[in-house]
Amino acid sequence: MAENNLVIKNGIRHVAIIMDGNGRWAKQRGLSRIEGHKAGAKAIEKVLKAADKHSIEYITLYAFSTENWKRPKNEVTGLMGLLKEFLEINTKILHEKETRLRAIGRISDLPFSTRQVLDKSINDTSQYTKRQLILALSYGGRAEIIDGVKKIAEDYKNGKIKEKNINEELFRNYLYAPDIPDPELMIRTSGEFRLSNFLLWQLSYSEFYITETLWPDFDENEFTKAIESYYLRNRRYGGV
């Protein structure tokens, strides 16, 4: 096959998204920050539909970071409430689209009532294999690596693994969701060029798409633009 710098052969299986700009969106409209997050939750519904149309198998959303606990108490409580509401509204759509819900992060940090709703949606959709929606909750890329290292230390101590066998392939098995392929594409809204502790291990070779659009305004059309931009890039994985 002829080399063509504009056309890549790999399809997209996994898109990871940093949903940024809810606060600015609300401020521009004189609304509370939580109103911005509410609009952000609506945008997720649009993106899930768009992802389905593009046959994307995995969508990972950065819904709450390990650093987000530092936000004012009412914003944290509001976000936890919104998460429950989001799951109650969207579990029906997950069933319709045969989508399995998963969560990555330090899930035990979440309030009990939030975990209950989350666990229920995760269990109720666990039979689906076609698509997966992964919510990163109380998630930090560094925390994930540290949690992995602790589990490796434990297995080493118990004689389950040998030092000579510790390599990238083995380490992957200690991540929160080792079976999920790395994202081909990472989208960040609201124009910030930062990784903000998101999927540090998994995004090593991913393409980044940054848009000025604030998350609540992100829709099917924007999602399609991001996918099209990916297909115009040439991925070399450090080769030539």
End-to-end CA distance of the chain: 16
For residue 68, state whether it binds ligand FPP (rule: CB under 6 A): yes
Binders in 17-46 for ligand FPP, by CB under 6 A: 19-24, 37, 40-41, 44
Q: Cβ closer to ligand FPP: 152 or 187? A: 187
For residue 140, state whether it binds ligand FPP (rule: CB under 6 A): no
Q: Cβ closer to ligand FPP: 166 or 210? A: 210
| Marked catalytic residue, from 4, 5, 10, 68 | 68
| Closest among 123, 122, 124, 41 to 83, alpha carbons compared | 41
For residue 66, state whether it binds ligand FPP (rule: CB under 6 A): no
* Shortest CB 111 distance to ligand FPP, Å: 13
Number of residues binding to ligand FPP, judged by CB under 6 A: 18
Residue 107 contacts residue 237 (beta carbons within 8 Å): no
2 to each of 8, 16, 52, 116, 232, how far by Cα in Å?
Answer: 11, 30, 31, 53, 16
Residue 47 contacts residue 217 (beta carbons within 8 Å): no
Tokens read off for 177: 């969701």
Where do runs of H (alpha helix) occur along 29-178? 33-53, 73-96, 112-124, 141-157, 168-172
Q: Cβ closer to ligand FPP: 22 or 202? A: 22
In the bound complex, which residue of the shown chain has the CB atom lying closest to ligand FPP?
Answer: 23
What is the contact mask toward ligand FPP in residues 167 to 206, using x (rule: CB under 6 A)? -----------------------x----------------
Q: Is 147 a catalytic residue?
A: no
Residue 55 contacts residue 99 (beta carbons within 8 Å): no
Q: 59 - beta bridge partners? A: 15, 133
Q: Cβ closer to ligand FPP: 121 or 174? A: 121
Q: Which region among 3-11, 81-89, 166-174, 228-236 touches ligand FPP (by CB under 6 A)?
A: 81-89
* Shortest CB 66 distance to ligand FPP, Å: 12
Q: Is 219 a catalytic residue?
A: no
106: left (phi > 0), else alpha (psi -120 to 50), else beta? beta
How far apart are alpha carbons 187 and 183 in whole angstroms?
Answer: 10
Q: Cβ closer to ligand FPP: 102 or 148? A: 102
Tokens read off for 169: 């392939």
Catalytic residues: 20, 68
By CB under 6 A, name the binding residues for ligand FPP: 19-24, 37, 40-41, 44, 63, 68, 79, 82-83, 86, 190, 215
